[in-house]
């Protein structure tokens, strides 16, 4: 009978497991990222996603990377080295993880880090050259729900924590915080409560130790209605973002406004902005303009019928070096780019039905145009006030002094007019020329060749080995194929549009159907895992919680202010709550209501056993609090304090916001021998780190946050000497005879 019942239970479990088996619909690798899609399971509360490959085993991704699109779920994994990976998705039920499914091997490719932005050993952005996050990187997730509440304490900011994306960036403006910053945009995000003239502005006072990446997640990250502006900044990367309907004061979808260096903008989709005040701004102002900026790479972007794609320079400026490569100028009208003063390499771009002109050179600029594919681009190359620019009676694009274009190995088809220097088919081609076409890429242009207006000469920057970078250009046709596959957001982005070449190749008017589609664009994103945010204004009611009667249970030792406010059967809480101090992600929870640590705030409780008291503040917060009038220092927003049996009062020292607290008893209440996972303390730690575990610790592996193993210790470990580790955060992998536990430890 017992055997029969046991067999029945096994059969029932087998049927239930397979009845709710998770089905993966699609997976794939991309540029230093990978993705997976799967069918939802009705009974699943959430999902966990893990990846394995290139030395990493079953690493869990952040909750915010898991999104619901109604008929399917999608997760994107960012910051991967090139190589092969598998992805595992597991449903989470009320009683824990269910049976997951794993993808076949997917191949991840490296980004093309070529161009002037990578000169002098620089790698712009918060990722390393291998595609993984820099060791000290801080990651922020920006969604429609979190955009005004996300918080971070920034070194020497005017007021910490900084709440809201622009406020956080205002903190980095001073250039005093050297942590790498990764800002991840998820879904369609509209205007912020606080911005700067309709722009999110990135600055870091040109601090060469500061690195910032602003990136989109997946194929549907959209900046809707606002622009991105970079000024007084260095080491900045912007990637995988679609920008549309921009109505900022400056008017550019993305603008490099002033005094920038080592900037990389790539794999973005540029759509119409709102009409500006000038006649030539019906499609918005500039899509991606650059002013007084150098050592810049603009690559693999997709410009969708942009009116004015890339203005470079807004006056007489010192020469700067920039690269434009593998961009898709898809029926955009002009400025691809329009160059003043600077030295610019324009190679392997796809000019696809451009109604006005391709590359324009003015004001003593030197432009090397190489290996591009021009299809029905009306005037592929123009030099101001000479050749085709004035052939029809007035300047096509500029009345400024001329520059010089050196052209090599370009493919031109379907153009109206192009005159090469010395072309005997045209009268006076040594004066009225558009570009100097050379037979070999290393050919020099002598000083005898000058612009008609201003008698400007070419500076031959492209043959100067002390200036130029290493690169291997594609053939024009190979470049066109590569651009159509990789330009813009991952897999071409979520917005699809097919141009009518018979009309759109020659028209520079607003495409009314495209404009309507962009104006009415709505994301298909339903929800983001871990992104449930309370709405409404600030809650600021002073009251006393606790005293609900009865003996506390284990759950009462954990207090989540977002869920429970001031009410607790274990803690007595006097103080004020707020829901406007930012959002904290902790232990797979999204916390957006906090207890303000003010002079009148008191949290009191009593314990009968030794315990660890854990407090969670704003991410990045560093400051002091008082426990029984003893000062304790908080580092990176989390503090764990070993306490003995007794009564305690938590009070303010520095201004802070407390989101979560817990008591973990070391004996009796949570018997060490029955602990499901080891506990380490104190955390943060200065010298000795203690380990409490129900089973022997046989090995401890210590990794950097980026995944590099730095130390491996063996034996029955109880205490670890941390004095030789540098300050920062580390991943501890604790091996017991019963399994593996992972914990983040902060070394002060």
The residues pairing with 27 across neighbouring beta strands, listed in sequence order, are 36
> Quick one: tokens of 186?
């998820």
Domain ranges of the chain: 2-108, 122-299+489-521, 532-670, 674-748
Q: Is the peptide bond before 402 cis (omega within 30 degrees of 0)?
A: no
pLDDT in tens, 332-353: 999 999 999 999 999 999 999 9
Instruction: Give this prediction's pTM.
Output: 0.76
pLDDT in tens, 528-570: 997 743 222 333 333 333 333 334 444 568 899 998 888 887 8
Is residue 706 pLDDT above 80, yes or no?
no
Quote the CA–CA distance of 142 and 125 in Å, as a whole number.
17
Torsion of CA 498, 487, 336, 444, to 10 degrees: -140
Q: Are strands 542-545 and 572-578 parallel, antiparallel or unpaired?
A: antiparallel
Residue 335 bears catalytic tag: yes
Quote the CA–CA distance of 130 and 128 in Å, as a whole number.
5
pLDDT in tens, 506-517: 999 999 999 999
Total length of the chain: 748
Torsion of CA 617, 618, 624, 627, to 10 degrees: -10
> Quick one: tokens of 729?
């955060």
- Collapse the DSSP code of 558 into the 3-class scheme (helix H, G, I; strand E, B; otherwise coil) and give the result: strand
* Summary mean pLDDT of the chain: 88
pLDDT of residue 384: 98
Q: Which helix (H) or strand (E) holds 182?
A: strand 181-185
Burial 379-390 (b: 16+ CB within 10 A, else e): bbbbbbbbbbbb
Domain 2-108 in this protein, CATH class: mainly beta
Quote the CA–CA distance of 380 and 350 in Å, as a whole number.
11
φ and ψ of 592, to 5 deg: -135, 5
The catalytically annotated residue of 335, 340, 480, 489 is 335
Domain 532-670 matching CATH 3.10.580.10: the answer reads no
pLDDT in tens, 252-275: 999 999 899 999 999 999 999 999
Q: Which helix (H) or strand (E) holds 484?
A: helix 476-486
pLDDT in tens, 432-465: 999 999 999 999 999 999 999 999 999 999 999 9
Quote the CA–CA distance of 305 and 507 in Å, as a whole number.
10
> Residue 173, by phi and psi: left (phi above 0), alpha (psi -120 to 50) or beta?
alpha
- Which positions ≥6 away from 195 have C-beta within 8 Å? 166, 201, 226, 248
CA distances from 568 to 51, 544, 556, 559, 572 (A): 39, 10, 7, 7, 7
- Collapse the DSSP code of 272 into the 3-class scheme (helix H, G, I; strand E, B; otherwise coil) and give the result: coil
Quote the CA–CA distance of 280 and 59 in Å, as a whole number.
51
Tell me whether the CATH fold assigned to 2-108 matches the one assigned to 532-670: no
Quote the CA–CA distance of 120 and 690 in Å, as a whole number.
45
pLDDT of residue 463: 98
- Collapse the DSSP code of 495 into the 3-class scheme (helix H, G, I; strand E, B; otherwise coil) and give the result: coil
Question: Could you tell me the strand order of the sheet in which 338-340 lies?
Answer: 199-202, 227-231, 254-258, 288-290, 311-312, 338-340, 359-362, 381-383
- Report the CATH architecture of 674-748: Sandwich (2.60)
Model confidence at 379, pLDDT cuts 50, 70, 90, reads: very high
> Quick one: tokens of 23?
């089905």
The residues pairing with 237 across neighbouring beta strands, listed in sequence order, are 213, 264
pLDDT of residue 744: 75
Q: Is the peptide bond before 543 cis (omega within 30 degrees of 0)?
A: no
> Quick one: tokens of 598?
């003010």
């Amino acid at each position: 009978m017992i055997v029969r019942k046991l067999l029945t239970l096994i059969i029932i479990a087998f049927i239930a497991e397979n009845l709710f088996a998770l089905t993966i619909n699609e997976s794939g690798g991309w540029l230093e990222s990978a993705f997976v899609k799967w069918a939802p399971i009705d009974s699943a509360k959430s999902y966990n996603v893990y990846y394995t490959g290139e030395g990493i085993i079953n690493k869990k991704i952040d909750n915010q990377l898991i999104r619901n699109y109604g008929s399917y779920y999608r997760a994107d994994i960012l910051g991967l080295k090139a190589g092969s990976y598998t992805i595992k998705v597991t449903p989470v039920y009320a009683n824990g993880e269910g049976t997951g499914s794993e993808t076949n091997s997917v191949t991840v490719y490296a980004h093309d880090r070529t161009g002037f932005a990578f000169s002098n050993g620089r790698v712009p952005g918060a990722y390393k050259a291998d595609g993984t996050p820099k060791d000290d990187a801080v990651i922020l997730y920006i969604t429609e729900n979190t955009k005004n509440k996300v918080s971070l304490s920034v070194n020497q900011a005017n007021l910490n924590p900084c709440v809201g994306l622009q406020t956080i960036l205002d903190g980095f403006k001073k250039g005093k915080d050297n942590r790498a910053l990764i800002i991840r945009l998820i879904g369609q995000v509209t205007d912020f409560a606080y911005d700067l003239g309709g722009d999110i502005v990135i600055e870091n006072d040109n601090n060469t130790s500061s690195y910032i990446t602003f990136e989109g997640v997946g194929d549907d990250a959209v900046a809707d209605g606002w622009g991105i502006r970079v000024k007084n900044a260095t080491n900045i990367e912007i990637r995988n973002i679609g920008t549309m309907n921009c109505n900022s004061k400056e008017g550019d979808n993305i603008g490099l406004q002033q005094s920038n260096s080592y900037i990389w903008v790539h794999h973005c989709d540029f759509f119409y902005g709102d009409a500006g005040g000038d006649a030539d701004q019906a499609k918005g102002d500039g899509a991606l303009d650059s002013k007084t900026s150098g050592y810049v790479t603009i690559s693999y972007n997709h410009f969708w019928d942009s009116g004015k794609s890339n203005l470079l320079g807004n006056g007489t400026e010192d020469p700067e070096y920039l690269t434009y490569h593998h961009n898709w100028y898809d029926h955009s009208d002009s400025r691809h780019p329009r160059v003043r003063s600077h030295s610019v390499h324009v190679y392997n771009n796809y000019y696809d039905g451009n109604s006005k002109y391709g590359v324009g050179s003015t004001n003593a600029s030197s432009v090397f145009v190489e290996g591009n594919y021009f299809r029905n681009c009306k005037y592929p190359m123009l030099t101001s006030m000479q050749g085709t620019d004035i052939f029809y009676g007035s300047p096509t694009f500029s009345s400024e002094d001329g520059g010089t274009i050196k052209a090599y190995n370009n493919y031109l088809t379907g153009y109206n007019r192009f005159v090469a220097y010395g072309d005997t088919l045209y009268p006076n081609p040594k004066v009225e020329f558009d570009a100097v076409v050379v037979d070999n890429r290393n050919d020099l242009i002598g000083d005898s060749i000058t612009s008609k207006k201003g008698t400007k000469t070419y500076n031959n920057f492209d043959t100067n080995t002390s200036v130029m970078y290493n690169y291997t250009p594609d053939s024009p046709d190979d470049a066109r194929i590569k651009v159509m596959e990789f330009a813009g957001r991952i897999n071409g982005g979520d917005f699809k549009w097919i141009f009518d070449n018979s009309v759109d190749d020659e028209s520079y008017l607003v495409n009314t159907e495209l404009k309507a589609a962009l104006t009415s664009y709505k994301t298909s994103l339903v929800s983001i895992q871990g992104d449930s945010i309370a709405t409404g204004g600030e809650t600021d009611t002073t009251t006393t919680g606790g005293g609900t009667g009865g003996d506390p249970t284990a759950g009462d030792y954990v207090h989540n202010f977002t869920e429970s406010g001031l009410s607790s059967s274990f803690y007595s809480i006097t103080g004020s709550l707020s829901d406007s101090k930012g959002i904290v992600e902790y232990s797979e929870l999204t916390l957006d209501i906090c207890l303000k640590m003010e002079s009148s705030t008191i949290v009191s409780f009593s314990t009968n056993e030794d315990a660890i008291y854990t407090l969670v503040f704003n991410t990045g917060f560093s400051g002091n609090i008082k426990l029984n009038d003893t000062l304790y220092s908080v580092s990176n927003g989390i503090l764990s304090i070993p306490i003995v049996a007794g009564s305690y009062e938590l009070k303010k020292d520095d201004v802070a916001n407390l989101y979560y607290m817990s008591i973990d008893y070391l004996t009796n209440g949570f018997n060490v021998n029955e602990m499901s996972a080891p506990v380490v303390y104190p955390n943060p730690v200065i010298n000795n780190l203690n380990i409490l575990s129900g089973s022997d610790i046989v090995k401890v592996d210590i990794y950097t946050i980026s995944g590099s193993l730095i130390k491996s210790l063996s034996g029955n470990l109880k205490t670890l000497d941390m004095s030789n580790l540098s300050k920062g955060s580390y991943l501890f992998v604790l091996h017991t005879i019963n399994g593996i536990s992972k914990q983040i430890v902060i070394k002060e």
